[in-house]
Amino acid sequence: MVITSFDPRKLRAVSRAQPQLAVGFCFDDMMLDFALPVLTRLPRRGPPREEGQGVRASALALLTRVLDANLVGSVLGTSLVGAEHTLIGRETVRRLHARGVAIGTHTLFPLAAPPHKPMSPIASLPAEVERLVELGVDWIETDDPERLLALIG
């Protein structure tokens, strides 16, 4: 059984109560958005940013670094990670697998998005399933398992 959560306190509680269970922290591509007002005030370093490479892109790059290094898992003592499919790339999977960390993704073929978050347009595309399978993710979470199973056979 795998248990993932966005709440590290609950993961610690589960690990203490049931140490045999595999637990992991979940990453969402908007989880650093709360820091955007601060990030916009920081001085820029390096070359000027190209269009589309603004503060949100910097926040996503930072989040990807934290994910790739399994920093949260190191603190929590976990060996798996759940991540929104938009955060997973070839290097993320390679780096985590090299550390012995399993990585799964959420949520493909969503039925609905939370009120605070727009639904990713690629979350319902067969090409996104193919990309993630080709990258070697360890699991895919979905709201439509029959559709997913038909694609991955």
Residue at token pair 């610690």? 12
pLDDT tens-digit series, residues 30-67: 887 777 666 666 666 555 544 445 767 777 888 898 99
Q: Quick one: pLDDT at residue 109?
A: 86
CA 47, chain centre distance (Å): 28
Rounded CA-CA distance 113/115 in Å is 6
Strand partners, 82: 26, 104
Q: Kindly report the pTM of this predicted structure.
A: 0.82
pLDDT tens-digit series, residues 136-148: 999 999 999 999 9
Looking at 3.40.50.2020, 3.10.350.10, 1.10.10.10, 3.20.20.190, the CATH number of the domain 2-42+51-152 comes to 3.20.20.190
Q: Quick one: pLDDT at residue 46?
A: 52
